[in-house]
Amino acid sequence: MSSLRKRTRNGFTVIETLVFATILLVLMGSIVLVIQGGLRYMRTTTAYQDAQRQVVVGIQKMREDLSKSTTARREPPSPLLDSDHIIFLSPTPPPPDVDWTYDGSDLEYHYWVCYYFDSSSNELVRIQIPIPPSTSNETADPPELADFLSQPKDNNWKVVARDIQSMTVNDGPTSRQLSLRMTSSVSTGTDKTTEVTSRTMVTMPNP
């Protein structure tokens, strides 16, 4: 009986229980803060990678097309200042052909290509319109932006990049160069967003 009463008297007191509970709450709170911080970092990192990927894909695709085109006929013409679209000629042959074609020594163009920033959907869109076979490169006039926007969403219409906040095209330091600027904005899952901006210079080598 005496040993039983002794074990009972050696139990936790109210103060000891409160101290233990307080320490446990502090530890649990610290763990929660660490987990929340890690999740925020992961969301921010993922958003940054997504934004960077969209900008890289958009800029790279525009560079690829523009670097094969000509400065002779494009819309808008110079002076070009913060335009949200660019229209130009493309020498890419119609399928199934893969090789460029020439009229004597002159490169032949087969499509009008338009890149434009759709602010309603935050997308960079690429649309191409075939040049009529009877139209020569010398007489081909650039279509208007409205002509591209009226095209059906078929194989000639493609969303190149999403989550785009802005896209602007400006004249470069020389007559054959254009300056591209693109910004992508991706939500981190909270009220914050991550933005990535890329700038590049592209040369349109063909006269």
Most confidently modeled range among 9-13, 50-54, 96-100: 50-54
Residue 54's nearest CA partner among 153, 191, 198, 189 is 198
> How large is the average pLDDT for residues 99-119?
89
pLDDT band for position 175 (cuts 50, 70, 90): confident
pLDDT band for position 141 (cuts 50, 70, 90): confident
20: pLDDT strictly greater than 80? no
pLDDT of residue 1: 47
pLDDT band for position 142 (cuts 50, 70, 90): confident
> How large is the average pLDDT for residues 152-178?
93
Residue 185's nearest CA partner among 37, 44, 2, 11 is 44
68: pLDDT strictly greater than 80? yes
pLDDT band for position 2 (cuts 50, 70, 90): very low
CB 194 within 8 A of CB 185: yes
The strands making up 85-90's β-sheet, listed across from edge to edge, are: 85-90, 111-118, 123-130, 157-162
7: pLDDT strictly greater than 60? no
pLDDT of residue 55: 95
**SS3 assignment, position 111:** strand
121: pLDDT strictly greater than 90? yes
> How large is the average pLDDT for residues 142-156?
92
> How large is the average pLDDT for residues 87-99?
89
Higher pLDDT, 34 or 176: 176
Q: What percentage of the chain exceeds 70 in pLDDT?
A: 86
Whether the bond between 79 and the residue before it is cis, its omega within 30 degrees of 0, is yes
CA distance 56 to 65: 14
Helices (H), the chain: 2-9, 14-66, 145-149
> How large is the average pLDDT for residues 20-43?
76
